[in-house]
Amino acid sequence: MSIPQSGGGPIEHHDQLAEYLASGCKPKADWRIGTEHEKFGYCVDSLKPLPYAGDRSIHAVLSALRDRHGWAPIEEGGKLIGLQKDGANVSLEPGGALELSGAPLETIHETCDEVNAHLKEVMDISKEIGVGFIGLGAAPTWMHDEMPLMPKGRYKLMDAYMGKVGTMGRSMMRRTACVQVNLDYGSEADMVQKLRVAIALQPVAVALFANSPFFEGKVNGHKSWRSRVWRDTDNARAGMVPFIFEDGFGFERWVDYALDVPMYFVYRDGEYIDALGQSFRDFLDGRLPALPGETPQLSDWADHLTTAFPEARIKKYIEMRGADGGPWRRLCALPAFWVGLMYDQTALDAAWDLCKDWTAEQREALRVAASVDGLQARVDGIDMHEVARQAVAISHAGLKARARPGAGGMIPDETHFLNALQESVESGQTPADELLEHYHGDWNGDLTRIFAEYSY
């Protein structure tokens, strides 16, 4: 989850809202890659989730990262709730999942080095204190009451609200985890094309990265339970945003959408002020019940944009949000997949050709089918396995065309980061399929085996 935004000054006219989004436009030479991933921490002996405080805890891990590896602390209410260094952040998800929000980097080689360095730091600390971390889309065995709520004001407000707007919001907060990538756009037209491809092909990412077939100790009937959870979290702020495919879509239309997303909070002087369900439109007019007579700052708008949760979203960049958290090598495969599709125009055009004729109903049906069946999903003759095969091939061509070398020039491009996905399209098997094979095979239904065999 995002940290509070700052700066920007007062909003004095409506045009500033779209101008904020447009200010993200960058020349291609300045496009960057920001990779985020979440993982669940647990006590190795009990296999129970980490508490916030104690000898074996989230606080212990954060403190050691700060003291040993030079991360600067981020505190709220006197409590350590995150870290920052070199443009990257380590933060906490509501239930204690540890997230790396990576710095904006030029190549997949760099972003994968960043992921590797972070996981090495975390693993070295974890082993000393009897803690493990595992990458999955959903917590496999833990019940809601076992998951602590991290001491962040934003999460306290969200937790209270989630039970009023859906049945699975609190599960989303505490017991799901993702990997995502944030990518730039060059112009409004470029944003439109990229966002349309991102939304239309997000079910393909759901299928390829499906990694949550277990929940509360049982097989749940979905390859991606995380994706299922998002379908009943808060539909006023989540989903497939079909309006982006309408003629005339651009920054201003996204502003209209975001203004209609009910507010969560206003951040002032280190405190989260309860604005649950209130209207940012009223805030613009000085009629926000939470702050009567006060009008917003641009930082308030930036914060509000982080409370819309569609499958892909715009801030000053585009976030691809559909993939389950997963094993180490797929943390690099996810940014590679989307960079290959998005950062080469020939590949982007080919990706749009792949999905441009799908209807809103088909896109939504593919989202549902991907969560249930993964690569075996089919909707109106659209074969997910074949679409994934073509999408990975287009991404591969896009990365090859980018020709960004690594390892001091020894590696000519970034295509090898797609190897895990190419294996999936060749075999038809995703991480969820592999987990289910173990569960029904050599694990003999003992789901605790997942911790020893699939932790980082």
For position 210, what pLDDT does the model report?
98
**DSSP letter, residue 376:** G
For position 6, what pLDDT does the model report?
61
Q: Give the distance, in angstroms, between the CA of residue 287 and the centroid of all CA atoms in the same chain.
A: 33
Are 244 and 252 in contact by the 8 Å Cβ rule? The answer is no
Instruction: Give the chain's radius of gyration (CA, Å).
Output: 21
- Integer Cα distance of 284 and 97 in angstroms: 35
pLDDT in tens, 201-251: 999 999 999 999 999 999 999 999 999 999 999 999 999 999 999 999 999
For residue 94, what pLDDT band results from cuts at 50, 70 and 90? very high
For residue 4, what pLDDT band results from cuts at 50, 70 and 90? low
* Domains of the chain, start order: 15-31+153-178+186-454 (3.30.590.20)
For position 307, what pLDDT does the model report?
97
Closest CA to 338 of 231, 212, 195: 195
pLDDT in tens, 142-156: 999 999 999 999 999
Residue indicated by tokens 């997910």: 384
Which segments of 100-183 does DSSP mark as H helices, in order?
Answer: 108-129, 153-165, 169-175
The amino acid that residue 319 corresponds to is E
Residue 393 has pLDDT above 90, yes or no: yes
- Integer Cα distance of 303 and 307 in angstroms: 7
For residue 2, what pLDDT band results from cuts at 50, 70 and 90? low
Tell me whether strands 312-314 and 98-101 are parallel, antiparallel or unpaired: unpaired
pTM reported for the whole predicted model: 0.97
Exposed/middle/buried for 10, CB within 10 Å: 0-12, 13-18, 19+?
Answer: exposed
Closest CA to 3 of 298, 302, 323: 302
Across residues 123-132, what is the average pLDDT? 97
- Integer Cα distance of 66 and 419 in angstroms: 34
Closest CA to 290 of 303, 307, 305, 273: 273
pLDDT in tens, 302-360: 999 999 999 999 999 999 999 999 999 899 999 999 999 999 999 999 999 999 999 99
Across residues 64-82, what is the average pLDDT? 97
For position 8, what pLDDT does the model report?
77
Q: Give the distance, in angstroms, between the CA of residue 160 and the centroid of all CA atoms in the same chain.
A: 22
Which segments of 29-80 does DSSP mark as H helices, in order?
Answer: 58-69
For position 5, what pLDDT does the model report?
66
Across residues 381-395, what is the average pLDDT? 98
Q: Which two tokens stand for residue 176?
A: 């799901």
- Rounded (10°) CA dihedral 111, 115, 118, 124: -150
The amino acid that residue 296 corresponds to is P
Across residues 31-36, what is the average pLDDT? 98
Closest CA to 388 of 404, 403, 366, 415: 366
Residue 1 has pLDDT above 60, yes or no: no
